[in-house]
């Protein structure tokens, strides 16, 4: 079971844009915080527009999410407030629908040719619709996780003695592997 689900039936989406506003129910907030490893979420909302391409039958989803939340500071583990305001888009298709020409062409390539090709654009390799439904709650959760600051830190806080530790160098301890190699080469030249 997902921490937050909001399903829309794919059959309800046609070429006329379907606009939906969703927000995370209060009962789901703590499970969502646990999944994202964040302190708290306040007022997570998303505006989503779904449109089906009349020819390919692919559903295009465009969304905008806004949320105020607190993450854990990577130094002190205290809550760090953050505002996320981000846009996203993705594509969905029924499993029975035809594969895009680009994807079909790529699947016929041998492994060497595939490795030399750039990754497919998401619109050429849409997500599969499962049981006739798209889970907008899960979609927003995934995009929120990508929008979070990966290194939240309370302003002005640095690791204790971080600067001094980088400057210190004990015998046989190197900041990077190339420093050890450099000293080895200097020692070898002195022997010659």
> Is residue 190 very low, low, confident or very high in pLDDT (cuts 50, 70, 90)?
confident
Q: Which helix (H) or strand (E) holds 72?
A: strand 59-72
Contact 9, 34 (CB under 8 A): no
Q: Which of 85, 104, 97, 4 is nearest to 59 (CA)?
A: 97
Q: Which of 90, 98, 17, 95 is nearest to 55 (CA)?
A: 98
The pLDDT confidence band at residue 66, using thresholds 50, 70 and 90, is: very high
In whole angstroms, what separates CA 35 from the centre of its chain? Answer: 13
The predicted pLDDT at position 115 comes to 62
- Which two three-digit tokens encode residue 159? 């690791």
Q: Which two tokens stand for residue 57?
A: 């039958």
**Mean pLDDT value across residues 151-159:** 83
Question: What is the reported pTM?
Answer: 0.70
- The pLDDT tens digits for 159-182 are 665 555 555 555 555 556 666 667
Burial 93-114 (b: 16+ CB within 10 A, else e): bbeeeeebeeeeebeeeeeeee
Q: What percent of the chain has pLDDT over 70?
A: 72
Model pLDDT, residue 155: 85
Give pLDDT, residue 37.
Answer: 94
Domain boundaries, the chain: 7-157, 159-192
Q: Give tens-digit pLDDT for 25-37.
A: 999 999 999 999 9
- d(Cα 141, Cα 164) in Å, to the nearest integer? 40
């Amino acid at each position: 079971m997902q921490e937050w689900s909001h399903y829309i039936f794919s059959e309800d989406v046609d070429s006329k844009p379907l606009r939906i506003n969703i927000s995370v129910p209060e009962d789901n907030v703590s499970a969502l915080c646990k999944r994202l490893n964040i302190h708290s979420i306040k007022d997570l909302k998303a505006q989503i527009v779904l449109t089906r391409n009349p020819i390919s039958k692919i559903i295009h989803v465009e969304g905008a999410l806004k949320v105020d939340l607190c993450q854990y500071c990577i130094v002190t583990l205290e809550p760090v407030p953050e505002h996320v305001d981000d846009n996203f888009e993705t594509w969905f298709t029924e499993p029975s629908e035809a594969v895009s020409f680009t994807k079909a062409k790529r699947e016929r390539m041998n492994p060497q040719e595939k490795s030399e090709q750039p990754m497919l654009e998401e619109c050429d390799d849409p997500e599969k619709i499962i049981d006739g439904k798209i889970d907008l709650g899960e979609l927003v959760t995934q995009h929120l996780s990508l929008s979070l600051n990966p290194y939240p830190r309370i302003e002005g806080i640095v690791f204790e003695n971080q600067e001094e530790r980088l400057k210190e160098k004990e015998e046989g301890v190197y900041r990077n592997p190339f420093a050890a190699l450099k000293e080895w080469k200097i020692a070898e030249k002195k022997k010659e």
